[in-house]
Amino acid sequence: MALLLWLGSQLSSYLSNVSILAVFLTVFTLVLDFMKRRRKWSRYPPGPTSLPFIGTMLSVDFQNPHLSFNKLQKKFGNVFNLQNCWTNMVVLNGYKAVKEALVHRSEDFADRPYMPVYEQLGYGSKFPGIVMARYGHVWKELRRFTLSTLRNFGMGKKSLEERVKEEAGFLCSEISSEEGRPFDLRFLVNNAVCNVICTTIYGKRFDYGDETFKKLLHLFEEFLKEETGFLTQLLNVVPTLLHIPGLLQKVFRGQKEFMDFTDMFVHKHMETWNPAYTRDFTDEFLKEMKKGKAAEESGFNYNNLRLVTTDLFGAGTETTSTTLRWAVLYMILHPEIQSKVQAEIDKVIGRERSPTMEDQVSMPYTNAVIHEVQRCGDVVPIGVPHRTYRDTELQGFFIPKGTTIITNLSSVLKDETVWEKPNEFYPEHFLDTNGKFVKPEAFLPFSAGRRVCLGEQLARMELFIFFTTLLQKFTFVLPEDQPRPREDGHFAFISSPHPYLVRAIPR
Ligand code: HEM
């Protein structure tokens, strides 16, 4: 009996110790969490209530963040804060705020947040590629080299424009073979745009229908899907979760397999490399790598070669081909606009000669339509995240160094204070009263400032040549039995049209 009483008292004292410990740990964790989430600065932008541990993550639909941002903008204004767990974020909305940050305070906002989820692909402080690189020496060197190499790529046999023209011809032949039947042009357009970038970086083009290419495209779609969603955001802000066995392989399988493809291309290239003869961007990079230690330290090493080429492929393919799919969609939804573009093509270029970039100045209407496609299509609605490089001020708010910045480009392209009909397809946004082409400053689909899209020139050339060649050769119509396609986008980092079928009637 005495033993039982003694055991009972021991147990109750143990339980009360455990309870005290549990209470202590809970209070300690809550205080720690509070300290981590506390924003101690005055004049910090307003925002929704931050909850313990998860911050404001429940205020955002990560499948459609731009829509959540639009709602929050109405409540909190053009500059508001969010908190992904313990990571402070500020979202910039509307032309004025975005321009002030990207253009007037370009360096303050030029950094990128560190994304631990990319480490498994080989990204790191010495291996940043370009898109996700922190603002600094390596990014500057890689960006400078990439821009000048792409610019110089008129060298050798074919200039970039010739390549785009040739590929537009192949695309039209493929479309002709559909013989006016309903089809989804997504795959063909993707193939064409991908060929432009692949010949430039890997000296390789894929025949239409190529199985390797289909696989590559599928993996890239997975890649983009894996970039969005709640789980990816959570893993970025709580990287310890990445150590859960098997999680990385499960969540980022597409990204990993996509990188394996890149490795294969780069390896094949290295095996056949001849320093005396530069075939493409990869050869030019290999040449740079051979320049010794200084070049190595400036970022010209094997890992960066695979990451930079992946960046160019990733940033340059889906964006441009999605814009072209929006273009055809708007043409079938607005046949009267399509006819006006065709009339201009007939007048300036005719039916036989291939369009060239020189034609652009004489074609204000077509140019306005392409710009309006980019504005309405809004393919990179929330841009690529930035990060403040130093403490800074914006629109009267204080934003500390190291804050993740989201530039809501969608809110600029649809800014009600700038555009006459922000939510309609209205090419007159880009025409003055005399029908001359004008470009309002709020046209920022490529962003602006130090991190402005590096491929803007190439993209603009591709959009003009592909679009005019397509409308020169075909009239696009909605198949009789098809419902009117949806005009809202489907978001997976890029905003693309929902799948639709089209008939291409030869002209
Ligand atoms: C219609 C087509 C395109 C659109 C709408 C587009 C849009 C963008 C946007 C919004 C950014 C983020 C800029 C920022 O951080 O503020 C970006 C970055 C970038 N784009 Fe594009 N892009 C397009 C085509 C291309 C092409 C064809 C290439 C490659 C040849 C390319 C390469 C890049 C690169 C490398 C970056 C990262 C720049 C840096 O961080 O320094 N893009 N693009």
Tell me, what CATH number does 263's domain have?
Answer: 1.10.630.10
Q: Per residue in 427-439, pLDDT tens?
A: 999 999 999 999 9
Residue of 202, 280, 317, 319 to test ligand 1 pocket, by largest number of atoms within 8 Å of CB: 319
- How far apart are alpha carbons 324 and 335 in whole angstroms? 16
Closest ligand 1 atom to Cα of 383 = 10
Q: Is residue 24 part of a domain?
A: no
Q: Per residue in 98-138, pLDDT tens?
A: 999 999 999 999 999 988 878 877 777 777 899 999 999 99
- Quickly state the pLDDT bin for 230 (edges 50, 70, 90): confident
Q: Per residue in 453-472, pLDDT tens?
A: 999 999 999 999 999 999 99
Does pTM surpass 0.75? yes
CA 454 – ligand 1 centroid, Å: 5
Q: Is residue 42 part of a domain?
A: no
Q: What is the pLDDT of residue 157?
A: 40
Q: Which of 73-77, 104-108, 196-200 has the lowest mean pLDDT?
A: 196-200
Q: Average pLDDT of the chain?
A: 90
Q: Per residue in 340-367, pLDDT tens?
A: 999 999 999 999 999 999 999 999 999 9
Q: Is residue 274 part of a domain?
A: yes
Q: Whose CA is nearest to atom 6 of ligand 1?
A: 446
Q: Is residue 373 part of a domain?
A: yes
Between 363 and 248, the higher pLDDT residue: 363
Q: What is the pLDDT of residue 156?
A: 33
Q: Is residue 137 part of a domain?
A: yes
Burial level of 112, CB count in 10 A (0-12/13-18/19+)? buried
Q: Is residue 20 part of a domain?
A: no
Mean pLDDT of 52-68: 89
- How far apart are alpha carbons 98 and 79 in whole angstroms? 9
CA 320 – ligand 1 centroid, Å: 10
The encoded tokens of residue 227 equal 């970039």
CA 457 – ligand 1 centroid, Å: 10
Could you give the number of structural domains in the chain? Answer: 1
- Quickly state the pLDDT bin for 181 (edges 50, 70, 90): very high
- Domain region containing 443: 47-506
- How far apart are alpha carbons 439 and 411 in whole angstroms? 17
Please say if the pLDDT value at position 20 is more than 90. no
- How far apart are alpha carbons 63 and 464 in whole angstroms? 31
Q: Whose CA is nearest to atom 41 of ligand 1?
A: 451
Mean pLDDT of 15-28: 79
Choose among 459, 420, 485, 442: nearest CA to 318: 459
Instruction: Tell me the CA end-to-end span of the chain in Å, nearest whole number.
Output: 103
CA 378 – ligand 1 centroid, Å: 13
Closest ligand 1 atom to Cα of 317 = 27
- Contact, 470 vs 485, CB < 8 A? no
Please say if the pLDDT value at position 155 is more than 70. no
Q: Which of 32-41, 90-99, 491-500 has the lowest mean pLDDT?
A: 32-41
CA 274 – ligand 1 centroid, Å: 31
Q: Is residue 10 part of a domain?
A: no
Q: Per residue in 289-315, pLDDT tens?
A: 988 888 888 889 988 999 999 999 888
- Torsion-angle region of 378 (φ positive above 0: left; ψ -120 to 50: alpha; else: beta): left
Please say if the pLDDT value at position 4 is more than 80. no
Residue numbers belonging to the annotated binding site for heme: 453
Choose among 190, 333, 202, 210: nearest CA to 270: 202
Q: What is the pLDDT of residue 118?
A: 80
- Quickly state the pLDDT bin for 29 (edges 50, 70, 90): confident
Residue of 100, 134, 453 to test ligand 1 pocket, by largest number of atoms within 8 Å of CB: 453
Q: What is the pLDDT of residue 376?
A: 97
- Quickly state the pLDDT bin for 377 (edges 50, 70, 90): very high
Q: Is residue 418 part of a domain?
A: yes
Please say if the pLDDT value at position 12 is more than 80. no
Q: What is the pLDDT of residue 396?
A: 95
- Quickly state the pLDDT bin for 154 (edges 50, 70, 90): low
Amino acid at 393: E
Mean pLDDT of 271-275: 87
Please say if the pLDDT value at position 71 is more than 60. yes
